[in-house]
Amino acid sequence: MDLIIKGLSKTYGNGVKALDNVSLHIPKGMFGLLGPNGAGKSTLMRILATLQEADAGSVMLGDIDVLKQKDEVRRTLGYLPQEFGVYPKVSAYEMLDHIALLKGVTVKSERKDLVEALLQRVNLWDQKKRRLSGFSGGMKQRFGIAQSLIGEPKLIIVDEPTAGLDPGERNRFYNLLTEIGENVVVILSTHIVQDVKELCSNMAIIHKGKLLFAGSPDESLRGIDGKVWEKSIAKSELEGYAAGGQLISNRLVAGQPVIHLLSDVPPGAGFVLVEPSLEDVFFGAINRSNVETVTA
């Protein structure tokens, strides 16, 4: 069951165009939606989760019209928003039991089996009686995944899931998402390139509501192979390179800027050709989009 998005657009009352004619084909498995804060990712996620209306376009999940058949979508949807609110004084078991009841699992014995299986799956069984207020960030995210799996969803939306997690919790979350993504469509919305690199076989980059790239991470890397150049420069030179439109990224190494430029030919003396990374793809697409916007 693939998710097909065609010509999706959304403009807010203040004139901000959150989505501008976005079209995507998202197959079963882990799909990474990359973009900086304010790119339009959360707007897209809310529309797919039937929480917000689109201005134009269509979205089909198999034979379900997502924009029109909202009740059908909700029955097959698992959603973990960026801010997942819970009742802090309720235990993990009690909360999952309550959510399962709300999702239509009315037989108590079935609900018991479901809740126990989910807590085992996300490795929270030993914490089942603990109040959610005492959970770490990673534990809350794993609980959020557990509630999103109620009802055997065909589409799972996860919005900025690893922000603020320590490396150990992030790895546990990666493993859990990878397992889930074997059987359903999982959309991972994030601004963290590492998340997509570790998890996703397909990806898209969105910025200022526009789709800049869609394909596999390997395909994105092939597109800039042999075109990424690195050089250590003086801080005073940085502004000039930024204005040239070829700058991908810069970072400080021992207090000295090290820049990456995108160019078909050597951009100047001292530049060394380097192997491209997914960060180069991401920041390069964003920077080119910004330059095109300014010069348009």
Span(s) in the chain for CATH 3.40.50.300: 29-52+64-221
| H or E segment and range at residue 100 | helix 92-102
9 forms beta bridges with: 56
Distance of alpha carbon 232 from alpha carbon 38, whole angstroms = 31
Distance of alpha carbon 174 from alpha carbon 126, whole angstroms = 20
Q: Which of 8-12, 94-98, 114-118, 131-135 is the least confident region?
A: 131-135
Q: What is the mean pLDDT of the chain?
A: 89
86 has pLDDT over 70 = no
Chain segment 233-292, per-residue pLDDT in tens: 999 998 888 877 788 988 898 889 999 999 999 999 999 999 999 999 998 888 878 766
Convert 128-140 to b/e letters by CB count within 10 Å (16 or more is b). eeebbeebeebbb
Q: Residue 59 in contact with residue 3, Cβ under 8 Å? A: yes
209 has pLDDT over 70 = yes
Would you place residue 11 in the very low, low, confident or very high pLDDT band (cuts 50, 70, 90)?
very high
Q: Residue 291: what pLDDT?
A: 67
Q: What is the mean pLDDT of residues 109-123?
A: 93
19 has pLDDT over 90 = yes
> Domain 29-52+64-221 is classified in which CATH homologous superfamily?
P-loop containing nucleotide triphosphate hydrolases (3.40.50.300)
Largest CA distance in the chain: 72
| H or E segment and range at residue 212 | strand 210-215
First to last CA, the chain: 39
CA separation (Å) from 263 to 134, 245, 271?
51, 10, 11
Percentage of the chain modeled with pLDDT above 70: 96
Chain segment 154-200, per-residue pLDDT in tens: 999 988 877 777 888 788 888 888 888 888 999 998 888 888 988 89
Closest CA to 237 of 254, 261, 214, 219: 261
Q: Residue 18: what pLDDT?
A: 96
Q: Residue 44: what pLDDT?
A: 95
